[in-house]
């Protein structure tokens, strides 16, 4: 396997977050935006410490909760990139595994 790059890290993280969000979307919709940063953070901590410390599912959910925290905390700081400005290239986030 080739050496992993920063782009690989970003792509894998986006794929994982997208998978977890898709699972929850069916059940809960976009209710995550109404949950406090503190609650998301606490859920992430629980996911990191419960069960097997290397449990992939727990890690996926913790990563997603931390992404929710970051999104809620930094949404105003990155508003320009969210509305089409910025330097994020959509084609770099092809979510096909």
Asked if pLDDT for residue 72 goes beyond 70, the answer is: yes
Residue pair 69/37 in contact (Cβ under 8 Å)? The answer is yes
pLDDT, the chain, mean: 84
- Mean predicted confidence (pLDDT) in 57-64: 93
- Mean predicted confidence (pLDDT) in 68-95: 73
More confident call, 2 vs 53: 2
Residue pair 63/13 in contact (Cβ under 8 Å)? The answer is yes
For 68, counting Cβ atoms within 10 Å of its Cβ (0-12 exposed, 13-18 middle, 19+ buried), the class is: buried
pLDDT band at 95 (very low <50, low <70, confident <90, very high): very low
Query: What's phi and psi for 14, nearest 5 deg?
Result: -65, -40
Q: Is the pTM of this model over 0.75?
A: yes
Asked if pLDDT for residue 42 goes beyond 70, the answer is: yes
């Amino acid at each position: 396997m080739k050496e992993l790059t920063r782009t690989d890290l970003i792509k894998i993280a986006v794929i994982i977050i997208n998978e977890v969000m898709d699972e929850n979307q069916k059940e809960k919709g976009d209710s995550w935006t109404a949950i406090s940063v503190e609650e998301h953070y606490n859920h992430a901590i629980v996911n990191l410490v419960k069960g097997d410390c290397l449990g992939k599912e727990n890690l996926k959910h913790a990563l997603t909760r931390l992404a929710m925290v970051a999104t809620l905390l930094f949404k105003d700081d990155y508003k320009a990139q969210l509305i089409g400005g910025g330097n994020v290239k959509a084609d770099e986030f092809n979510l096909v595994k």
